[in-house]
Amino acid sequence: MIPLGVIIVLTDHLFLNLWFQNSTPTDPHSLFIFNLIFGLPHVLAGNIQLLDNEYIKFHKTGIVICCLFSLLFPWSIISGLGIGVFITMEYGISSFHAAGQQVGIATLFSSFDRRFYSVWKWSTRIVIAITAIRAIEYKVFSTYFDGGLDHLILALLFTSTVTGLMIYRSCDKKVGKVYILANLLMTYSIYSFQQLNYPFISILCLRLPHDVTAFLFYMNHSRIRNKNVDHNWLVRFFPLPNFMKGYFLPLLTIPLAFFLDSWEIFFLANAFFSYLHYTSENFFWRGNGLALKSVQIN
């Protein structure tokens, strides 16, 4: 996505007289297609992984707490502060979540000095979340973002870079080194495209790798988890050949997301699914859980 973004920016400045910059949407209410492709489908696919009796029994308390929070938090924000504030917060929170996944995956296929990992993870997640909120035109936040947070963003970028390079030096596998450098490049690209006034590309630099990675992860898990026994409720309800037990996720969730996104009546349902996804993934894919046993990392 980054090379394509650079080509688009150069072409827009040299040949299109900023047509792309002026025509791509930044208002959250205008991003229907963006949300449909890069938001809800992978959220639904992640939540489908929970529909498993063993997982529900193992994570019972966590799932109940996440469901209650996912019901009450969106409703309280929308009721108290309005839907515009909620949608803008959603971009920041979803970006914080997505950045966390991209950074966290590094721990699955490489070993490195963990002394710097937490600082790298949190500085990267916070700077990306702030940049994502800045990419959205909502005036409530403009007073704080026009100047006060610029120094914080630069400090976080510097911290993310230094700690990321420390981790890179201590990484024991080439694929891990490449992945860490790719994350550093992604963080700078998100910030740079936003500074160049291309928020759509800025957000896409995070969402595209996140959603592709998430779907590959969920498909891998679903295929292995249900290979010999149909643990998942949907796989059990719709008997599928083994090769389809991963592929059914995008085939199901993309049309379902289109249906849910097409009707305003489902807005709170979409918010519930999103926050259930953000919160449950904090424990569902942890090393002491059951789910990672059904994921094969090559």
Q: How far apart are CA 74 and CA 267, in angstroms?
A: 10
- Among 111-115, 150-154, 225-229, which is the least confidently predicted range? 111-115
Q: How far apart are CA 129 and CA 50, in angstroms?
A: 26
State yes or no: pLDDT of 213 exceeds 70. yes
Show me where the domains of the chain are located: 2-294
pLDDT in tens, 234-258: 998 888 888 888 889 988 998 888 8
Tokens of 240: 């599928």
Distances (CA, A) of 31 to 114, 140, 141: 38, 19, 19
State yes or no: pLDDT of 70 exceeds 90. yes
Higher pLDDT, 263 or 89: 89
pLDDT attached to residue 275: 92
Query: Per-residue confidence at 45, pLDDT binned at 50, 70, 90?
Result: very high
- Mean pLDDT in residue range 191-219: 85
Give the number of other Cβ atoms within 10 Å of residue 226's Cβ: 21
User: Residue 20 half-sphere exposure, CB side, CA atoms within 13 Å?
Assistant: 19
- Among 19-23, 186-190, 284-288, which is the least confidently predicted range? 284-288
Contact 280, 63 (CB under 8 A): yes
pTM for this structure? 0.83
